[in-house]
Amino acid sequence: MTNTTSRKPIRKAVFPVAGMGTRFLPATKAIPKEMLPVIDRPLIQYAVDEAREAGIEQLIFVTGRGKTAIVEHFDHAFELEATMTERSKSLDVLEPTRIQPGNLVTVRQQVPLGLGHAIWCARAIVGDEPFAIFLPDELMIGQPGCMKQMVDAYNEVGGNVISVLEVPEDEVSSYGVIAPGIRNGALTEVKGLVEKPRREDAPSNLIISGRYILQPEVMRVLEGQEKGAGGEIQLTDAMARMIGTQPFHAVTFAGKRYDCGNKTGFVEATLAIALQRPDMADEVRAMMQRMLAES
């Protein structure tokens, strides 16, 4: 198996954020789904913070129409900061939103042809380096963060690394599932990928979650890949074709995943994070108990 590029550092990350957010209409008619707040930070901010913790230097946003608010969120807001300074308000709250010029790049996905196509749109910026992928819909909370856990594993084994979670066997048919090989603690060799298998056909209960570290060769695989499930170019199909040609491992994430791609998961994430906040946990817990008693 080739391993010639597997130990290059992970400096770049791709964020596919071109989706229309139809599950959250009408809230997302004018506001990108990624800008919906979980407490006081937009969803995209959590993913960016996770990337920075993992040592990512360059953020590549694959955007579409109506997504300019995402970029503006990470821009320097001179008028806002000047007003806050005049009123003696601290600017520390804005620190996570500051990205140095050149460290944020946007490319357009002009036609919605699937996740694989969105990643392929970033090929010129990724170049010949391994890179990370963040699906911001999946809010991953852990210490350290999910991508930091993955980068640490990558530094040991190289190649391609994906994040997985253990779920009950009756839930596997809703996800992509790995066929496992040798397992060493949280690290599992990946022998294959199966998309939404029947429970009885699932090779494991380890589902693929929304974090990836891939070698640049995946772009060449995506280049010639035909449409798959849903008439879209699927990233899972491209990854499956790379298994056996390069090292491929999964890291079982030590933390919690919240599926903010649906309304119930978004509410769950909001409540879970609120209960972790010292400035509001007691009030939120009391409010929840009162509402449950009244329901």
Which residue ranges form the domains of the chain, and what is each CATH number?
Answer: 12-261 (3.90.550.10), 262-295 (no CATH)
pLDDT band at residue 5 under the 50/70/90 scheme? very low
- 21-67 pLDDT tens trace: 899 999 999 999 999 999 999 999 999 999 999 999 999 999 988 88
Q: Please, what is the Cα angle at 110 between 108 and 115, to 5 degrees?
A: 80
CA distances (Å), origin 240, targets 7, 151, 162, 203: 21, 21, 12, 14
Burial tier of 106 (Cβ tally within 10 Å: 0-12, 13-18, 19+): middle
| pLDDT computed for residue 201 by the predictor | 85
| Whether pLDDT at 277 is above 70 | yes
Q: Which residues contact 148 (CB under 8 A, 6 or more apart)?
A: 50, 53, 54, 55
DSSP state of 4: S
- Does pTM surpass 0.85? yes
| pLDDT computed for residue 231 by the predictor | 66
- 177-222 pLDDT tens trace: 899 999 999 999 999 988 888 888 889 999 999 999 999 999 999 9
| pLDDT computed for residue 188 by the predictor | 94
Q: State how far Cα 206 lies from the chain centre.
A: 17
Share of the chain above pLDDT 70, in %: 96
Q: Is 247 helix (H, G, I), strand (E, B) or coil?
A: coil
Angle between helices 263-274 and 281-294 (to 10 degrees): 130
Burial tier of 18 (Cβ tally within 10 Å: 0-12, 13-18, 19+): buried
- Taking Cα atoms as reference points, which of 122, 163, 177, 192 lies closest to residue 250? 163
| pLDDT computed for residue 2 by the predictor | 42
Token pair for 232: 């879209």
CB contact at 8 A, 275 and 152: no
CB contact at 8 A, 178 and 187: no
- 152-182 pLDDT tens trace: 999 999 999 999 999 998 888 888 889 999 9
